[in-house]
Structures are given as structure tokens and as C-alpha cells.
């Protein structure tokens, strides 16, 4: 049943209207951040209120924004697939908002008001992507998401940040052009761009060459943000951003908008049957398989933790794409379920990397031997999320990957099933050394890291975290700080977490080794530790009771609504 409702609009406005309030309270940071938290809670509440009627009641909420011409309109629609993305993004914005407070204050970052405002704009655009009723509306919000996240990528205003930002815009706007071209061609061929569960009927009778061209344009466009190789290189470079932004890019909004767009194309534009008849699913599955294996191999050789996590993200996103491309019911469930599963696990990992950076100014894995003594809770959460990424049972990654492997076997895709299992082994290969040396090695006695060296690995001088720009104390603009004359000035760090020459500690363990912090939270502020443990708990809950966590029920509803499966 279709129900006209303002709630999709209000869900977008919840964070959009917070932007002027964030700027208005820029001189009072507690109030400013209170506005952010209130907006995040309101957005999540509005979206969560839609779950019962959409998932269990079979309702769909629609709202027409603008009619541009006959058959061309900007409209919102809340169906099960859109609810999956919208609910996830709004939930994790709450967690990320609390974490951002601890992170930004811990490093005394500049331009914090701009940061929180851009975050709110990004979530408004992300929910617009989730609730788009047709391909044209999705394109508009997809591009707005790029614009909203650009200030976050370039937050540090260094040459490296600006270069990464230009690359980000080039890739993502290029992908947007491909999406627009595919949308125009789709409208010309079928007279509609509206999402229809099971696919637009007219596409099944369209000239196969034209239909394949539409598919290629749309997959290429959305594949940029989904980081399919060879369109992936913007993502590791975007690690120049602050760590909460990296979590946004990798776990919540940007890359998930790419795989969400691919899900819309496969499920609601073409439909599994048409994708099968056109023969375009297999090539996409091959590209996804190549991406998940190659990215995992490259991750083995990355010494900087955030860049290792970046290549892990590239690999994990292709699990989702592979599940969609296999077109089998189990594979579709696994691919869609991996959207929230990966989000909780990867957000945990990035939060841990950020906590290590804030508290120890250490970013290279080779400098982290024994750091479990200094940050026991953080590294415990890192271990849990790492195990989930590798597909260890009782964690979120196991459930989603199990469905994908079963779907691959059901379709006779033993090669794809084997590739998934091999990728799990590679996940252990690049995550386990981090955990092992944190707890079982010491700064004076540890193996060389990374395990793989050579052209694809080793330590680099690439700046990959969002610390205070070096030189800020020399007269550079530092934005809206709130500390008083009695407060100590923050350490100045570059993106690798190295202190300026005026300080004794240059990342890695201090002289004398790591100081034990204990297991009661003494390692960091609870603004940082709380979100880490919350995200890790989400990964565990989704692994043990996925139905109770609601996401599996939403995914099952999406697949059931497709009707006949290939």
C-alpha cells in the first residue's frame, strides 16, 4: 500500500535544518555539539518510526517534490531497500557524532563548526539517496553527497588534502556524469526512471544493445563510489581526512551510496531476470571478485593502519557487489546484509585507528607493538571487528558472507565461493598481525611489519590522518578553538601522527615503553571509547541475533518483494 507522507522529507530536513543552528552556535561548542546530537537523534527517530509499517505492514511512503516535465519528477519513496540504508546511516550518525566530539577536541582541530555542519549536510544527502523514488532523484542527491563531503575530505587544508579533494571530485563527478547519461538513456528507452521491485518491465523488451549500454553506464557511475577497480584510487588518498570522516566515507555514507546505487540498478531498474537474460551479471561478478582479491593482497603490504583499512574497504565493498551480481536469493540476502555488517565492523576499526592517533599519535602498524598495554579496550574492539571482517562465526561478517557463499554454490559458482574463502584468509593475514603484536609483542622484540614488502607495501610518507596542520602555531588560521589562556596548547601533529621537533615523542612507544592503562577506560575519553564499544557491540549483535537487530528482516523483505527469482 502506498501512503503519501511528509516523514521522508522530515527525515532529510532533520539534519539540514541543523546546519544554520550549528553555525549560529559556533562560539559555544557544547551547544553546537548538542544541536548535532539532537539532530542525529531526531533523524534516527523519524526513520525508525517507519520500520513497522514498511517491514511488517508492507506499506510504502511517497512524497512528490517537483514535477519537471511529463514523466520526470523529483520524488521520495520509503521502501524496504531505502529503509535499510537510511536506518543504518542515521543510526551510525549518532555514534559518529559522539566520537567526533572526543576526536575533534582531543586534537583541538581547527574549523570544527564547518566540520559538524558538513557532517549534517552529508547525512541529509545520504538519506536523500536512500529515499529517492527514481533514478533522477537518486542522481541529484548522489551529487549533493559529493559536494557535502568535499569540505570533510579537505578539512586540513594542506596541499595533500587539497590534492586528495581534487581527485575525489574528479572521480565522483565523473561517475555522476555516467549515472546521468545512463538515466537519460533509460528514460529515452522506457519513458520512466521510477524504481520498480523486480525491474522496469519495458527494459525486458528494449533492444539488448541499448539495455546493456544503460547497465554499463549506471554500473560505471555507481561503481566509482563503490570503489570497484580500477575506479578505486580516490579512496585510499581520501584518508588524509580526519578519522571520523574516514568512518563516514568507508562505513556509513559515501561508499555505501555507491553499492546502494548498484543495488537499485540491479534490483529495481533492471531486475534479476533481465540482468540474467542480458548476460551482464557475470562480468560484474568477475570484476567484483578481482577487486576483493587484489585489494586484500595490497592491504597486506600497507604499514599505515588507515591505508590498510582503506584497501580492506575496497575489498569488502566488492563482497556486496558480488552478492548482488550472483542474482541468487541467498547471495542477494548476503550482499545486502553485508551493508550493515560491514558498516558496524569498519566503523569500529576506524574509530580504533583514530583513538590510537589521538592518544599516542601513532599511525604505522610497525610502531604499535605492545600498544594493547596502553589501549586494551581499543585493541580488544579492534580484534572483535577484525575477526568479523574475516568471517569468524558469531560476528556480523560471518552471517552475511555465509549467505553469499551459499548463493554462489547454489548457482554453480564454485570459483566465486573459493574466492570468498580465499579473501577471508587474506583478511586474517592483514588483520591478525596488528592484533597479535598489540598484545603479544613488545617494542623491543617484534617482527618486522608489514608482512609483505616491495612495490605494493612498506612505510610511506603519505599523510593519512586528520591532525592539526603543522605550522598552525606559526600564525596559520586555526578556526574556532575554545580553549582559554590557562589551557595547554595542543601538540601539533602531521597526518602520520609525528610530533613537531619541539616535543620529545615522535609517534610509537615513548621512551620506556607503553604505560599500562588498565581495563576501566583510562586509555581515552569516553566520548571516544563509548562509540568504539557501541559499534563493536553492533557487530556482535548482528552476528548472534541478526533478526533481532532488524536488518536481516529488512533485507529479507527486500528480496521477497522482488517476486520470481532467477
Averaged pLDDT in 10-residue chunks for the chain of 566 residues: 80 94 92 94 95 90 84 90 95 93 87 91 94 95 93 88 90 93 94 91 91 96 92 88 82 89 95 93 96 94 91 94 95 95 95 92 89 92 95 93 94 92 94 91 69 45 42 39 38 37 55 77 87 94 88 93 69
Q: Confirm whether 522 is domain-assigned.
A: yes
Domain that holds residue 367: 327-446+514-565
pLDDT at position 67 is 84
In the block, residue with C-alpha cell 591505508: 307
Cell of 142: 548522489
* Residue 393 belongs to some domain of the structure: yes
DSSP bridge partners of 63: 76
> Whose CA is closest to 529, among 541, 542, 520, 538?
520
Cell readout for 318 is 566488492
Asked, for residue 537, whether it belongs to a domain, the answer is yes
Instruction: Please report whether residue 410 resides in a domain.
Output: yes
Total domains, the chain: 1
In the block, residue with C-alpha cell 539540514: 16
DSSP character string of 61-72? EEEEEEEEETTE
- pLDDT, position 447: 65
Residue 537, pLDDT score = 95
Domain assignment present for 546: yes
| 34 lies in some domain | no
The upper half-sphere exposure of residue 65, i.e. CA atoms within 13 Å in the direction of its Cβ, equals 21
Q: Answer whether residue 425 is part of any domain.
A: yes
pLDDT given for residue 204 in this prediction: 87
The answer to whether the bond into 450 is cis (omega within 30° of 0) is yes
Instruction: Tell me the CA distances in angstroms from 176 to 77, 224, 245, 358, one per residue in order.
Output: 21, 9, 21, 35
Question: What pLDDT, on the 0 to 100 scale, is given for residue 529?
Answer: 93
Q: Which residues, 6 or more positions from 448, have their beta carbon under 8 angstroms from its beta carbon?
A: 366
Task: Provide the whole-model pTM.
Answer: 0.88
Q: What does the block give as the cell for 104?
A: 575533534
Q: Per-residue b/e over 305-323, b at no fewer than 16 CB within 10 Å? A: bbbbbbbbbbbbbbbbbbb
Strand partners, 493: 499
Give the whole-angstrom CA distance, residue 155 versus residue 251.
19
Q: Is residue 352 part of a domain?
A: yes
Amino acid at each position: 500500500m502506498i501512503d503519501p507522507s511528509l516523514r521522508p522529507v522530515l527525515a532529510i530536513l532533520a539534519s539540514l535544518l541543523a546546519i544554520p543552528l550549528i553555525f549560529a552556535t559556533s562560539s559555544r561548542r557544547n551547544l553546537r555539539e548538542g544541536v548535532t546530537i539532537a539532530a542525529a537523534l531526531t533523524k534516527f527517530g523519524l526513520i525508525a518510526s517507519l520500520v513497522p509499517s514498511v517491514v511488517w505492514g508492507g506499506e510504502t511512503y511517497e512524497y512528490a517534490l517537483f514535477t519537471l516535465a511529463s514523466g520526470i519528477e523529483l520524488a521520495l519513496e520509503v521502501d524496504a531497500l531505502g529503509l535499510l540504508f537510511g536506518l543504518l546511516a542515521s543510526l551510525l550518525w549518532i555514534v559518529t557524532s559522539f566520537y567526533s566530539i572526543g576526536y575533534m577536541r582531543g586534537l583541538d582541530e581547527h574549523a570544527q563548526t564547518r566540520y559538524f555542519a558538513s557532517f549534517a549536510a552529508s547525512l541529509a544527502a545520504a538519506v536523500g539517496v536512500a529515499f529517492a523514488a527514481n533514478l533522477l532523484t537518486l542522481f541529484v542527491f548522489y551529487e549533493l553527497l559529493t559536494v557535502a563531503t568535499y569540505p570533510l575530505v579537505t578539512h586540513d587544508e594542506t596541499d595533500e588534502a587539497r590534492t586528495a579533494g581534487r581527485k575525489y571530485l574528479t572521480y565522483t563527478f565523473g561517475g555522476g556524469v555516467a549515472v546521468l547519461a545512463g538515466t537519460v538513456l533509460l528514460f529515452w528507452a522506457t519513458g520512466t526512471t521510477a524504481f520498480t521491485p523486480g525491474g522496469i518491465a519495458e527494459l525486458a523488451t528494449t533492444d539488448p544493445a541499448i539495455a546493456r549500454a544503460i547497465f554499463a553506464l549506471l554500473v560505471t557511475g555507481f561503481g566509482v563510489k563503490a570503489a570497484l577497480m580500477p575506479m578505486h584510487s580516490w579512496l585510499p588518498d581520501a584518508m588524509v581526512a580526519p578519522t571520523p570522516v574516514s568512518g563516514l566515507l568507508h562505513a556509513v555514507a559515501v561508499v555505501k551510496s555507491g553499492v546502494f546505487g548498484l543495488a537499485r540498478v540491479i534490483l529495481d531498474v533492471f531486475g534479476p531476470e533481465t540482468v540474467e537474460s542480458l548476460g551482464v551479471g557475470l562480468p560484474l561478478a568477475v570484476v567484483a571478485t578481482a577487486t576483493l582479491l587484489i585489494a586484500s593482497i595490497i592491504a597486506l603490504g600497507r604499514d599505515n593502519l588507515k591505508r590498510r583499512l582503506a584497501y580492506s574497504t575496497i575489498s569488502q565493498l566488492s563482497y556486496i557487489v558480488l552478492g548482488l551480481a550472483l542474482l541468487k536469493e541467498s547471495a542477494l540476502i548476503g550482499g545486502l546484509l553485508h551493508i550493515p555488517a560491514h558498516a558496524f565492523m569498519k566503523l569500529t576499526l576506524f574509530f580504533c585507528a583514530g583513538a590510537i592517533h589521538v592518544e599516542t599519535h601513532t599511525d604505522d602498524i610497525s610502531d604499535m607493538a605492545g600498544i594493547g598495554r596502553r589501549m586494551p579496550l581499543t585493541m580488544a574492539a579492534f580484534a572483535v571487528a577484525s575477526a568479523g571482517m574475516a568471517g569468524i562465526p558469531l560476528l556480523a561478517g560471518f552471517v552475511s558472507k555465509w549467505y553469499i557463499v551459499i548463493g554462489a554454490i547454489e548457482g554453480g559458482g564454485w570459483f566465486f565461493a573459493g574466492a570468498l574463502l580465499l579473501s577471508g584468509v587474506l583478511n586474517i593475514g592483514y588483520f591478525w598481525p596488528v592484533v597479535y603484536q598489540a598484545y603479544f609483542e613488545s617494542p623491543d622484540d617484534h617482527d618486522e611489519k608489514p608482512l609483505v614488502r616491495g612495490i605494493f607495501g612498506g612505510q610511506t610518507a603519505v599523510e593519512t590522518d586528520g591532525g592539526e596542520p603543522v605550522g598552525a602555531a606559526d600564525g596559520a588560521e586555526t578556526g574556532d578553538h575554545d580553549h582559554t589562556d590557562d589551557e595547554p596548547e595542543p601538540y601539533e601533529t602531521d597526518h602520520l601522527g609525528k610530533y613537531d621537533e619541539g616535543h620529545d615523542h615522535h609517534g610509537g612507544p615513548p621512551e620506556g615503553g607503553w604505560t599500562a592503562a588498565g581495563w576501566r577506560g583510562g586509555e581515552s575519553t569516553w566520548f571516544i571509547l563509548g562509540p568504539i564499544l557501541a559499534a563493536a557491540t553492533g557487530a556482535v549483535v548482528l552476528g548472534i541475533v541478526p533478526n533481532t537487530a532488524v536488518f536481516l528482516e529488512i533485507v529479507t523483505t527486500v528480496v521477497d518483494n522482488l517476486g520470481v527469482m532467477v
